[in-house]
Amino acid sequence: MQKKALLTIFAISCFTATFGQDKEKIKGDRDVTSKETKINAFNRIIVGEDFKIDIIEGAQASVFVETDDNLHDVIKFDVTDSTLTFNTSHKITSSKKINIKVMYTRALKQIETFEDGEISSLTSVNLDKVILKNTGSSKAFLNIKTKDFKFINSDRAKVKLNVNAQVSNLELAENSKVDALINSDTLYVDLYQRADAKIEGTIKHLKVRADNSTNFVGKDLTSASAEVICESNSDVAVQVTNSLSIEASGSGEVYIYANPKITLNKFSDTAKLHKKEM
């Protein structure tokens, strides 16, 4: 039994030593060339490490890479289980240029960034449904047109969006930030753990839940009706033209722009309401 335990520890140690090592470093040779590779259609793209990738819709899925000639073999990409991923075989310490463009098809449904990855759209992402997930210190700069938009943002991720949708769902946590222009029939926003959202645009119905020191700035987001739940040292600012229902508790503060009919369903602890002029 003891021998088996020692063998297990040895195997784990070998695995850690083999795969835990830092990548070998490489410098670009400053001879810039470009290559385009056709790939299988994918419904999900994941961008991590410190990749910066532009996406554009096309008839055929492909990856275009413009970089130092000796770095083409270092930049790896693969489609497995309909998911496109990127990685590097070496740590690139310097390069004259790294420009990566991904051509996606209408099969795409989900976009994810993590670590220091960054993704942006050269044209509007026009799809029936879009799920966007961001974690780590990643960034996203996207124009999106869809029927159903879902956004999940956490860690220190920063995102700028221009969204046109029938239904939009935003969920932010852990110091993450979003700056967005949203035009949607319905917008649901959930904020947790010091998240920060600044939203502009026009909405028919808005529902905001802000908890645990979060901040929702919707002064320039016009909604016909809205529901606000503000708790635990959070701030919510909304511009509502017709009807507004509020639940405020803890040390939450709600800032009201325009002149809606207000229904106060809950008002407790040291919560505050502020009536503001535009």
- Nearest CA to 55 out of 133, 130, 129, 111 is that of 111
pLDDT tens digit sequence for 229-268: 999 999 999 999 999 999 999 999 999 999 999 999 999 9
Q: Residue 21's pLDDT is what?
A: 55
Q: How far is CA 114 from CA 24, 98, 150, in A?
A: 22, 19, 17
Domain boundaries, the chain: 22-108, 114-278
Q: How far is CA 181 from CA 60, 160, 207, 220, 257, in A?
A: 30, 8, 16, 9, 18
Over residues 41-67, mean pLDDT? 98
Does position 26 have pLDDT exceeding 50, yes or no?
Answer: yes
Q: Is the dihedral of CA 94, 133, 235, 162 positive or negative?
A: positive
Q: Is the dihedral of CA 214, 216, 217, 219 positive or negative?
A: negative
pLDDT tier at 22 (50, 70, 90 boundaries)?
confident
pLDDT tens digit sequence for 181-233: 999 999 999 999 999 999 999 999 999 999 999 999 999 999 999 999 999 99
For residue 196, which amino acid is it?
D
Contact 211, 174 (CB under 8 A): no
Contact 155, 117 (CB under 8 A): no
pLDDT tens digit sequence for 95-116: 999 999 999 999 999 999 999 9
Please give the class, per CATH, of domain 22-108.
mainly beta
Q: Residue 278's pLDDT is what?
A: 82
Contact 211, 236 (CB under 8 A): no
Q: What percent of the chain has pLDDT over 90?
A: 91
CB atoms within 10 A of CB 86: 19
d(CA 34, CA 27): 17
Does position 19 have pLDDT exceeding 70, yes or no?
Answer: no
Q: Residue 122's pLDDT is what?
A: 84
Does position 20 have pLDDT exceeding 60, yes or no?
Answer: no
Tokens of 201: 């645009």
Q: Residue 142's pLDDT is what?
A: 98
Query: What is the three-state SS of the chain?
Result: CHHHHHHHHHHHHHHHHHHCCCCCEEECCCCEEEEEEECCCCCEEEECCCCEEEEEECCCCEEEEEEEHHHCCCEEEEEECCEEEEEECCEEEECCCEEEEEEECCCCCEEEECCCCEEEECCCEECCEEEEEECCCCEEEEEEEEEEEEEEECCCCEEEEEEEEEEEEEEECCCCEEEEEEEEEEEEEEECCCCEEEEEEEEEEEEEEECCCCEEEEEEEEEEEEEEEECCCCEEEEEEEEEEEEEECCCCEEEEECCCEEEEEEECCCCEEEECCC
Q: Residue 117's pLDDT is what?
A: 98
Q: Across the chain, what does the average pLDDT equal?
A: 93
pLDDT tier at 3 (50, 70, 90 boundaries)?
very low
